Amino acid sequence: MSAASVVVYEDTYGSETAGFGADAGFCLKAVEHLLVMFTEARLRFGQAATRCEDCGSYMAVAGVCTHCDWEDPNYQPTERQPVSDEERARRMATPCTPSSDISTFMSPHDL
Ligand SMILES: [Zn+2]
């Protein structure tokens, strides 16, 4: 990530100060990608990474590797907290309004 940061810095700020501006769209996407990388790293930091023991993929979700179908024999599903009828009614009283258009969310696997 450090190397990626240096490349993005040099390609965006460095080219600007050298008198030849890099393509603004390219710079925007490079910085955007860098921020996503740091955000992902921050989210993973402090969390126990669940990796597939067969292929090493990080795509082990709910005890199953989505890459090779390996199943974690030690997986313990998280206990769901029960929601009372009163709490459910309170939550349903106001409509849920997403802050963004999540209906168009795409993951890398959709491409
Ligand atoms: Zn796997």
- What's the confidence (pLDDT) of residue 47? 66
Ligand 1 centre distance from Cα of residue 38 (Å): 25
Ligand 1 centre distance from Cα of residue 51 (Å): 8
**Distance between CA atoms of 4 and 31, rounded to whole angstroms?**
10
- What's the confidence (pLDDT) of residue 70? 95
- What's the confidence (pLDDT) of residue 108? 72
Q: Is the pLDDT of residue 104 over 90?
A: no
**Distance between CA atoms of 8 and 28, rounded to whole angstroms?**
10
Ligand 1 centre distance from Cα of residue 59 (Å): 7
CB 1 within 8 A of CB 37: yes
Ligand 1 centre distance from Cα of residue 32 (Å): 29
Put simply, whether the predicted model's pTM sits higher than 0.75 gets the answer no
Q: Is the pLDDT of residue 55 over 90?
A: yes
- What's the confidence (pLDDT) of residue 65? 94
One DSSP character per residue, 66-98 reads: TTT--B-TT--PPPPPP--HHHHHHHHTS----
